[in-house]
Amino acid sequence: MHGVTGRMGMNQHLIRSIVAIRKQGGVTLSNGDKVMPDPILIGRNAEKMEALAKAWNIARWGTDLDQALANPDDTVFFDAGTTQMRPTLLASAIRAGKHVYCEKPIATNLNEAVEIARLAEQSGLKHGAVQDKLFLPGLRKLDMLRRAGFFGKMLSVRLEFGYWVFEGDLQPIQRPSWNYRQEDGGGMILDMMCHWRYVLDNLFGEVKSISCIGATHIPQRWDEAGKPYKATADDAAYATAELVGHGGEPVIAQMNMSWATRVNREDLVTFHVDGTHGSAVAGLSSCKAQSRVNTPRPVWNPDEKQTMNFSDQWQDVPDTQVYDNGFKIQWEHFIRHVVENEPYKWTLPEGAKGVQLVEAALESWKERRWVDVPALQV
């Protein structure tokens, strides 16, 4: 496991996934057998690696990645380090005969993403890219509504994501400073369009074209040491995409994403889906729905105060099961894929599609036009 001292690598992948899997006694296979992950933590800072390993009862850690890759007993390489280093690290691991699993984006540009995806495909090894949003309770409920035909003909999706990331002068920053430096692999479009691609493709329809404008709303921020720096990456983006729905119908998706917005919605991300037979709004955990027959009749009258409470007119989609951590669920899928060849669709070529949408969005912003998103050949 490489890159697990960072926020996502440590919290979601190490602690809430691998450590949690070890505590539960391993991953259960189809025949009832158990697979117990035995991780080795690799990073540049020996003190951090040792402290992290001790804190979570991990026996093995080190600073020499080449030495770790040379150990034939370790069969999987995982990376949650910097996006800029990822293609090179994945290529080294694949050439060392390791199955690979990694955070997104899988690369900072499409050429490198396709190249590493092809290398993985040709190797015969197992490979995967994190697509955690698909395993969130809110989106799983939304997908259940879709599969049940609740929406009828799907019409549109409106995605709202973001919150205020403190600049660092008055309050401490809550995201790393490199996120706002383009030269270090930062930027809202690069970070989040990879997520929206797999969410759109899997739940609402295949992306066919996009129009996008980005912005750097906060031009100066302060880093971890309290020193001011120029923000060179986009901290917000506003996009419209044309989709082909799962039934062949056209679906319009609007995506607002910003680290310079103050939240007035039920969650940090919401997905509002409208269809001929019903609508739904999902967050990370919850999902509310309103069917055709339960749709109220509002009246537009600017001269009188609105008396309807629109939020109360939606019905909760109930929790019908226990929802485990989304990162952990995908880790269990990948481990079963490696050990017993369980079908697995969240591969590096799927990760490359995310980078494809990133480049299309950036091209649209630069050239101020709609950009087509063709089928990606890997």
Summarize pLDDT for 75-102 with one digit per residue, the tens.
999 999 989 999 999 999 999 999 999 9
Are 169 and 33 members of one domain? no
Tell me the C-alpha distance between 287 and 281, whole Å.
6
Domain of 61: which CATH number?
Answer: 3.40.50.720
CATH number of the domain residue 180 falls in:
3.30.360.10
The answer to whether residues 122 and 175 belong to one domain is: no
- Strands 236-244 vs 206-215: parallel, antiparallel or unpaired: antiparallel
32: left (phi over 0), alpha (psi -120 to 50) or beta: left
Residue 201, domain member (yes or no): yes
CB 273 within 8 A of CB 156: yes
Whether 364 is in a domain gets the answer no
Q: What pLDDT band is residue 325 in, cutting at 50, 70 and 90?
A: very high
Would you say residue 210 lies in a domain? Answer: yes
pLDDT average, residue stretch 360-370: 98
3-state secondary structure at position 162 = strand
Mean pLDDT of 279-306: 95
3-state helix, strand, coil in the chain (%, to 5): 35, 25, 40
Mark whether 157 and 214 lie in a shared domain: yes
Please answer whether residues 118 and 378 qualify as being in contact, where contact means their C-beta atoms are separated by less than 8 angstroms: yes
Count of positions (residues) in the chain: 378
Of residues 7 and 362, more confidence is placed in 362
Strand order in the sheet with 99-102: 76-79, 99-102, 127-129
Q: Are residues 244 and 258 in the same domain?
A: yes
71 and 43 inside one domain: yes
Instruction: Answer yes or no: do 86 and 196 share one domain.
Output: no
pLDDT digits (tens, 9 = 90+) for 188-237: 999 999 999 999 999 999 999 999 999 999 999 999 999 999 999 999 99
Q: Note the pLDDT of residue 231.
A: 98
**pTM of the complete model:** 0.94
Q: Which residue type is seen at 182? A: Q
Give me the domain span that covers residue 66: 7-132+327-346
Structurally, how many domains does the chain consist of?
2
Residue 14 lies in a domain: yes
pLDDT at position 22 is 98
* Residue 7 reports pLDDT greater than 90: no
Q: Is 18 a member of any domain?
A: yes
Residue 228 burial by Cβ neighbours in a 10 Å radius (0-12, 13-18, 19+): exposed
> What does the DSSP assignment read for 190-227?
HHHHHHHHHHIIIII-EEEEEEEEEE----EEE-TTS-
